[in-house]
Structure 1
């Protein structure tokens, strides 16, 4: 069984994004993912921006998940960045976005791309996890929180509680 955290290297986590504008944050996220995806930061940032123009990836709870599929991407890669001050980003329903998750996938992984997006959205829907991520100070702690949340989500007890 795959996990979102299988596609999230600790090197792709930034506890304090520096960007001051939406296009800058997309470029910063692209920089976190580009080396592992085998594409240029500029190309990836342009594709993330093109996707945002189709519709904002901001969700409730101060989360946005900019994502795209690129023919030249070598594998699925995600990143996570925390914007300490929050950033007006797209059509965020409840104000500023503080948690940004980037995702890039090769073209031939459409189903898995959507599944990873769904897993990210499900996990980050939890207010306690979001609060813990915002309080975390290091990439290692952030990744450990996500691994723990995902393990709890995938545990057999969780499936039984949900009636699966």
Structure 2
């Protein structure tokens, strides 16, 4: 599995003005609708439902919200680099500014887990996170994420 197969270039944004999880999830769902044709309300509700089980802030300013949806054909991602970090309720209490949301078919099984592991590995790399935080151009952010995949391929 490769990040370039999960994350379309137009699903990457540098985002301004997000200061709550509710707003973040709405913006992620809205972009998933535009890029992947997902129902934004279903995507939003699924993200919130998963988050109610426990925070998806994994630490070091990174969050990996994810949801399983009916009617989706393959795992798809949306990435946001936030201009200002906000309190996400992460495990390490650090505010979040890098968000990679995954949307998977309800029956994706191992593909969902592989995608989550790939994204997690990529965003655990401090050099990748530094590059992401140093850039606001969407094409550059996408290139950093997909180049990181090439380095980390398993």
TM-score between both structures, scaled by the size of structure 1 = 0.88
State the partner residue of 1:77: 76
State the partner residue of 2:60: 61
1:25 offset after TM fit, Å?
0.2
Matched position secondary structure for 1:95: coil
Which range is displaced more, 33-42 or 124-133? 33-42
State the partner residue of 2:137: 138
State the partner residue of 2:150: 151
State the partner residue of 2:108: 109
1:18 offset after TM fit, Å?
2.8
State the partner residue of 2:119: 120
Matched position secondary structure for 1:144: helix
State the partner residue of 1:49: 48
For 1:77 and 1:111, the matched residues in 2 are separated by 14
For 1:69 and 1:27, the matched residues in 2 are separated by 16
Does the Cα contact within 8 Å between 1:58 and 1:89 map onto a contact in 2? yes
Change (3 A) 1:110 1:52: same
1:56 offset after TM fit, Å?
0.5
Does the Cα contact within 8 Å between 2:87 and 2:93 map onto a contact in 1? no
Matched position secondary structure for 1:15: strand
For 2:117 and 2:33, the matched residues in 1 are separated by 22
- What is the aligned-residue RMSD (CA, Å)? 1.5
Change (3 A) 1:107 1:152: same
**Which runs of 5 or more residues in structure 2 are unaligned?**
none
State the partner residue of 2:27: 28
1:86 offset after TM fit, Å?
0.2
For 1:123 and 1:75, the matched residues in 2 are separated by 20
The structure number with the bigger radius of gyration is 1
Change (3 A) 1:5 1:94: farther
Matched position secondary structure for 1:121: helix
For 2:135 and 2:117, the matched residues in 1 are separated by 23
Matched position secondary structure for 1:55: coil
Does the Cα contact within 8 Å between 2:18 and 2:84 map onto a contact in 1? no
State the partner residue of 1:95: 94
- Provide the aligned length of Structure 1 versus Structure 2: 154
